[in-house]
DNA sequence: CGTTTAATTGACCAGTATCAACAGGAGTGG
DNA sequence: CCACTCCTGTTGATACTGGTCAATTAAACG
């Protein structure tokens, strides 16, 4: 199935290098938008795996709808979630032949799949596209640095506060967060246990920074206070 | 000062996408090697800062000699070292206008500095170069994922074992490691305290996997055993 | 050498994990 | 519509890893 190429261009408008990128060399559509013509839509049921760590990385993806998680496992089952993916996010591009993390759907989701082979040939021709891919990847790397700081140096309260702000900024609502993921997912994202996550939520409530109507709903009462609790700045 | 462009091309030979990248479009030198012509060498004394987090990201760099560290700080002084940089490593390329981490020299070091503005115009012209930058950045991202797993889910012993293997693989010697960095650096790299690092070294020795002639020298006796202690595989 | 800094070691503590019991909701079938 | 079950999340009791604070030793440096 072909995409209809009307997805929100979430990357457009990002600072791009230092602005010196010249327009596309040819008259045809260039940049990430040009990918829409080679993408195919795929559905993933909630909880199902799109690909496993070590699978051949034959495709690159973009989230169309729903939420997914990427993660790595240790042999004894310990899991680290690298990121939650939201509509518009690109993922699955690899430096090597295989995926170095697995991807599963948190909620029912649809993704757009781009053939890596075709992407490769496009990239070799189109500096503009290539540079945009670089931009997306560099943004992802920035985020990874922030997450290393969180995982290595923040305590449980700071981790949860940081997480809620991240989710708030990706939410549609201005001060309400819909947590699509389980406590287990949150724990594995923050390097904690579910029990610690469960115990830390009420602490934020006690501080008066959030309300907790139920386990998957958070209302941010005082955003500034929440930011103060993240440890940064 | 200009570089003499004879640096080991450590990136050449990496798998590149799926191998479908076409040769450079023009007859002139292309790819990362072409950068040598726009690089300038800069020295950094041991312990000195090359740039701080938040500084304008006007340049991109490659390590020529010595070892450096990139890190982020929390306002109260907690530090997370993102990576140690060795000769041949590229660093400092950013998605935004500013550096999102600081870089300091661990030992006296020299780096090659590439103007971002000139890099930007090269990238817009040369799909091959652009794709190689992407390759380098994707490799870095892979490594970041591994580090998130380490920081979020491994215990002190597994962290130190992983660290020693990483350093061994970047060492010249076949089974000896020269640790250029302090215990504080190691601790901040692994999300531990110096005391824990200090206490964990002797445990590895007790296991018989390493010898510790002195604080900055490690001899790996049993590499397989060390790998078993990392938690992965 | 003496001085300073880095690393180790010890005693104790705290934050988070672990193990276990319990509660709340969603779905299912009677 | 209600009980039953399953699953997720919460709460409690306790353990333990790693952190903190302090003292000591070793190494680097002038």
**Residue range A124-144, pLDDT digits in tens:** 888 888 888 999 999 999 999
* Disruptive mutation site among A24, A80, A100, A148 for chain B (greatest number of B CBs within 10 Å): A148
> Among A13-22, A105-114, B152-161, whose mean pLDDT is lowest?
A13-22
- Confidence at A150, pLDDT banded by 50, 70, 90: very high
Q: Cα(A17)–Cα(A27) distance, rounded to whole angstroms?
A: 22
Q: Cα(A90)–Cα(A17) distance, rounded to whole angstroms?
A: 19
Q: Which of residues 31-70 of B touch A (CB under 8 A)?
A: none
B64 Cα distance to chain centroid = 12
* Partner-chain contact B231 A139, CB within 8 Å: no
Return all residues near B26 (Cβ < 8 A) that are at least 6 apart: none
How many angstroms separate the CA of residue B173 from the nearest CA in chain A? 27
A111/D8 CA-to-C1' distance in Å: 28
Q: Cα(B65)–Cα(B43) distance, rounded to whole angstroms?
A: 9
Return all residues near B215 (Cβ < 8 A) that are at least 6 apart: B179, B183
Q: What is the pLDDT of residues B13-50, one digit of tens each?
A: 333 343 333 333 343 444 677 777 788 999 999 999 99
8 Å CB contact between A84 and A69: yes
How is B69-133 classified by DSSP, letter by letter? EEEEE-TTS-EEEEEEE-TT-EE---SSSB-SSEEEESSSEEEEEEEHHHHHHHHHH-HHHHHHH
> In the predicted model, is pLDDT for residue A101 greater than 90?
yes
How many angstroms separate the CA of residue A45 from the nearest CA in chain B? 25
A164/D4 CA-to-C1' distance in Å: 36
Q: Which of residues 76-115 of B touch A (CB under 8 A)?
A: 76, 78-80, 82, 93-97, 100-101
pLDDT of residue B167: 98
For residue A74, give the chain B residue with the closest CA. Answer: B232
Query: Hey, which bits of chain A come out as E strands?
Result: 39-44, 49-51, 59-65, 68-73, 79-85, 90-91, 102-105, 109-115, 176-178, 210-214, 217-220
> In the predicted model, is pLDDT for residue A51 greater than 50?
yes
Of B18, B141, B152, the CB nearest to A151: B152
* Disruptive mutation site among B124, B135, B185, B191 for chain A (greatest number of A CBs within 10 Å): B124
* Partner-chain contact B75 A231, CB within 8 Å: yes
pLDDT of residue A191: 98
* Partner-chain contact B151 A152, CB within 8 Å: yes
> In the predicted model, is pLDDT for residue B198 greater than 60?
yes
Q: Cα(A137)–Cα(A121) distance, rounded to whole angstroms?
A: 18
The residue assigned the tokens 């819909």 is A178
- Confidence at A31, pLDDT banded by 50, 70, 90: low
- Confidence at B11, pLDDT banded by 50, 70, 90: very low
Q: What is the pLDDT of residues A159-193, one digit of tens each?
A: 999 999 999 999 988 899 999 999 999 999 999 99
8 Å CB contact between B153 and A79: yes
Burial of B187 (0-12, 13-18, 19+ CB in 10 A): buried
* Partner-chain contact B95 A139, CB within 8 Å: yes
CB neighbourhood size of A54 (10 A): 12
Q: Does A60 or B37 have the greater pLDDT score? A: A60
Q: Which of residues 120-159 of A touch B (CB under 8 A)?
A: 120-121, 123-128, 130-131, 133-135, 137-142, 144-149, 151-154
In 3D, which of A74, A59, A142, A160 has the Cα closest to residue B146? A74
In 3D, which of B82, B55, B51, B50 has the Cα closest to residue B66? B50
> In the predicted model, is pLDDT for residue A29 greater than 50?
no
How many angstroms separate the CA of residue A9 from the nearest CA in chain B? 17
Q: What is the pLDDT of residues B146-168, one digit of tens each?
A: 999 999 999 999 999 999 999 99
pLDDT of residue A90: 95
What does the angle CA B38 – CA B41 – CA B45 come to, to the nearest 5 degrees? 155
- Confidence at A34, pLDDT banded by 50, 70, 90: confident
Q: What is the pLDDT of residues B40-83, one digit of tens each?
A: 999 999 999 999 999 999 999 999 999 999 999 999 999 999 99
pLDDT of residue B36: 72
* Partner-chain contact B153 A128, CB within 8 Å: no
Q: Which bases of chain D are under 7 A from a protein CB atom? A: 8-13, 17-22, 27-28
A128 vs B contacts (CB less than 8 Å) = 124
pLDDT of residue A192: 98
Of A15, A125, A232, the CB nearest to B75: A232
The residue assigned the tokens 């450096």 is B68
Q: What is the pLDDT of residues A197-231, one digit of tens each?
A: 999 999 999 999 999 999 999 999 999 999 999 99
Q: Which residue is nearest to nucleotide D19 (CA to C1')?
A: B193
Beta bridge partners of A145: none
Q: Which residue is nearest to nucleotide D21 (CA to C1')?
A: B195
B203/C3 CA-to-C1' distance in Å: 32
């Amino acid at each position: 199935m072909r995409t209809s190429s009307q997805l929100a261009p979430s990357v457009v408008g990002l600072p791009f290098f230092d602005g010196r990128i010249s327009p596309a060399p040819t008259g045809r559509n260039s940049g990430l938008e040009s990918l829409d013509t080679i993408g195919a839509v795929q559905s993933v049921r909630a909880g199902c795996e799109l690909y496993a760590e070590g699978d051949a990385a034959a495709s690159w993806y973009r989230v169309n709808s729903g939420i997914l998680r990427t993660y790595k496992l240790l042999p004894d089952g310990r899991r680290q979630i690298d990121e939650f993916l939201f509509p518009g996010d690109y993922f699955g591009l690899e430096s090597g032949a295989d995926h170095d993390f697995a991807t599963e759907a948190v909620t029912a989701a649809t993704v757009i799949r781009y053939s890596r082979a075709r992407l490769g040939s496009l990239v070799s021709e189109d500096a503009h596209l290539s540079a945009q891919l670089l931009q997306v990847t560099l943004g992802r790397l920035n985020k990874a640095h922030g997450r290393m700081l969180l995982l290595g140096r923040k305590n449980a309260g700071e981790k949860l506060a940081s997480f809620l702000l991240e989710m708030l900024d990706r939410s549609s609502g201005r001060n309400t967060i819909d947590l699509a993921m389980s406590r287990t997912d949150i724990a594995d994202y923050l390097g904690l246990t579910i029990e610690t996550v469960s115990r830390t939520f009420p602490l934020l409530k006690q501080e008066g920074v959030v309300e907790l109507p139920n386990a998957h709903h958070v209302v941010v009462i005082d955003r500034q206070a929440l930011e103060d609790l993240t440890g940064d700045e």
